[in-house]
A and B are shown apart, each in its own frame.
Chain A
Amino acid sequence: MSIREDIKNKRIYLDGSMGTMLQNMGLTPGELPERWNITHSDAIVNIHKSYYDAGSNVVCTNTFGANILSYDKEELKEIISAAVSNAKKARELSQETGNKYIALDVGPMGKLLKPYGDFEFEKAIEVFAETIRIGVACGVDLILIETMNDSYEIKAAVLAAKENSDLPIFASNAYSEDGKLMTGASPAAMATMLEGLGVDAIGANCSLGPNQLIGVVTELIEYSSVPVFAKPNAGLPINEGGVTRFGVMADEFAQQMIEMAETGASILGGCCGTNPEYIEKTVAATANIPLPPHREKKRTVVSSYTHCVEIGNQPVLIGERINPTGKKRFKQALTDGDIDYILNEGLSQQEKGVDILDVNVGLPGIDEASILENTVYELQAIIDLPLQIDTADINAMEKALRIYNGKAMINSLSGKEESMRAVFPLVKKYGGVVVALTLDESGIPETAEGRIAIAEKILDTAKEYGVSEKDIVFDTLCMSVSADAKAPEATLKALREIRFEKGINTILGVSNISFGLPQREVVNSAFFALALENGLSAAIINPYSTEMLKVYYSFMLLHNMDKNCEKYIEFAQTLPLQTKATTTEVIKAEDLKEENINSALQNAIIKGLKEQAAVICEKMLESAEPLEVVNGEIVPALDIVGKGFENKTVYLPQLLMSAEAAKRAFEKVKEKIISSGNTQEKKSKFVIATVQGDIHDIGKNIVKVLLENYGFDVTDLGKDVSPEKICETVVSENAPLCGLSALMTTTVPAMEETIKQLKIKAPKCKVVVGGAVLNADYAKRIGADKYAKDAMETVRYAEQFNNE
Chain B
Amino acid sequence: MIYTEFFELPSYDKGEILRYSGAKKQDMSLDGIVDECIAECNGKFKGRVCYGEFPVRIKDNVIDLSFVEVESSALAKNLKGCESVVVFAATIGIDIDRIIQKYSRIDLSKAVFMQAIGAERIEALCDAFCDKLKAEKSEKGLFLRPRFSAGYGDLSIELQRDIMRALDCGRKIGVTLNESLLMSPSKSVTAIVGISSKHCTPEFGCASCENKDCSFRKEKL
The interface of chain A, by Cβ under 8 A from chain B, is 28-30, 108, 110-112, 115-119, 147, 149-150, 174, 176-178, 182-184, 206, 236-239, 244, 340, 343-344, 347, 381-384, 583-588, 590, 608, 610, 651-654, 656-657, 659-660, 693-698, 701-702, 705, 743-747, 750
Contact = CB atoms under 8 A, between A and B. Distances in A.
Nearest to A582: B36
B207 interface: no
Interface string B136-178: 0000000000000001000001000010111110110110111
Nearest to B103: A382
B22 A745 contact: no
Contacts of B100: 698
Contact of A656 (B112, B165, B167, B176): B112
B23 A112 contact: no
B113 A583 contact: no
A744 B108 contact: no
Contacts of B79: none
B221 interface: no
12 contacts: A29-B2, A29-B167, A237-B1, A381-B98, A383-B102, A583-B33, A584-B32, A656-B109, A694-B182, A701-B108, A743-B182, A746-B181
Contact of B106 (A178, A206, A340): A340
- Interface-central residue, B29, B95, B107, B180, by most chain A CB under 10 Å: B180
A178 B1 CA distance: 23
A653 B23 contact: yes
Contacts of B48: 176
Contacts, number: 177
Interface string B1-20: 11110100000000000000
B78 interface: no
Q: How large is the interface on B (under 10, 10 to 19, 20 to 34, 35 or more residues)?
A: 35 or more
**Top 9 A-B pairs ranked by shortest CB distance?**
A182-B174, A588-B29, A693-B180, A656-B109, A652-B22, A118-B178, A382-B102, A112-B184, A244-B1
Given A382-B101, A586-B29, A653-B23, A116 B3 contact: no
Interface of B: 1-4, 6, 21-24, 27, 29-33, 35-36, 46, 48, 52, 54, 67-68, 93-95, 97-98, 100-102, 104-113, 115, 151, 157, 162, 164-168, 170-171, 173-174, 176-182, 184-186
B180 A744 contact: yes
B154 to A, nearest CB: 12
A746 B157 contact: yes
Given A382-B98, A657-B33, A747 B171 contact: no
Contacts of B110: 584
Given A653-B113, A696-B186, A147 B68 contact: no
B94 A184 contact: yes
Given A184-B94, A347-B102, A701-B104, A652 B21 contact: yes
A495 B19 CA distance: 59
B67 A182 contact: no
Nearest to A183: B94
B14 to A, nearest CB: 13
A572 B98 CA distance: 30
B178 A117 contact: yes
A457 B6 CA distance: 54
B174 A149 contact: yes
Contacts of B4: 236-237
B11 to A, nearest CB: 20
Given A30-B68, A116-B101, 13 more contacts: A30-B166, A117-B184, A118-B184, A237-B2, A239-B1, A586-B29, A653-B30, A654-B23, A693-B179, A695-B184, A698-B111, A701-B111, A750-B180
Contact of B33 (A115, A174, A584): A584
A651 B109 contact: no
A653 B112 contact: yes
Given A29-B166, A183-B174, A382-B98, A584 B52 contact: no
A651 B67 CA distance: 45
A597 B95 CA distance: 41
A177 B49 CA distance: 12
The A interface is mostly helix, strand or loop, or mixed, namely loop
A587 B29 CA distance: 7
A223 B185 CA distance: 29
Given A110-B170, A176-B48, A239-B3, A184 B106 contact: no
B101 A177 contact: no
Nearest to A113: B184
Nearest to B136: A239
Nearest to A705: B108
A115 B178 CA distance: 12
Contacts of A693: 178-180, 182
A116 B24 contact: no
A154 to B, nearest CB: 13
Nearest to B54: A29
Contacts of B30: 586, 588, 653-654
Contact of A117 (B113, B173, B176): B176
Contacts of A698: 100, 104, 108, 111-112, 115
A29 B89 CA distance: 15
A747 B46 CA distance: 30
A108 B31 contact: no
Contacts of A382: 98, 101-102, 105
A49 B48 CA distance: 36
A652 B179 contact: no
Nearest to B24: A651
Given A116-B94, A698-B100, A651 B52 contact: no
Contact of B157 (A30, A244, A695, A745): A745
B97 A116 contact: yes
B68 A381 contact: no
Contacts of A30: 67-68, 162, 165-166
B106 A747 contact: no
A206 B4 CA distance: 12
Contacts of A746: 157, 180-182
A745 B211 CA distance: 14
Q: Which of A29, A651, A743 has the most CB of B within 10 A?
A: A29
A790 B27 CA distance: 21
A346 to B, nearest CB: 10
Nearest to B3: A237
A116 B185 contact: yes
Contacts of B98: 116, 381-382, 384
A334 B1 CA distance: 53
